[in-house]
Amino acid sequence: MATRTDAPTRREQILKEAARLFAERGFHGVGVDEIGAAVGISGPGLYRHFTGKDAMLAELLVGISGQLLTGAKWRVQEADGVPGEQVLDSLIEGHIDFALDDRPLITLHDRELDRLRDTDRKLVRQLQRQYVELWVGVVREVYPALSEPTARSAVHSVFGLLNSTPHLGRAGSLPGRGATAELLHRMARGAFAAAE
Does any domain span residue 62? yes
Does any domain span residue 166? yes
Residues 6+ apart with CB under 8 A from 71: 1, 94
Q: What is the mean pLDDT of the chain?
A: 92
Q: How far apart are CA 126 and CA 114, in angstroms?
A: 15
The CATH code of the domain that includes 98 is 1.10.357.10
Q: How far apart are CA 124 and CA 63, in angstroms?
A: 8
Does any domain span residue 71? yes
Inform me whether the pLDDT recorded for 2 exceeds 70. Answer: no
Does any domain span residue 104? yes
- Burial (CB < 10 A; 0-12, 13-18, 19+), residue 121, is middle
**Rounded mean pLDDT, 54-77:** 97
Domain around 180: 53-195
Does any domain span residue 27? no
Does any domain span residue 13? no
Task: Give the number of domains in the chain.
Answer: 1
pLDDT tens digit sequence for 106-147: 999 999 999 999 999 999 999 999 999 999 999 999 999 999
Does any domain span residue 6? no
Does any domain span residue 66? yes
pLDDT tens digit sequence for 76-100: 999 888 899 999 999 999 999 999 9
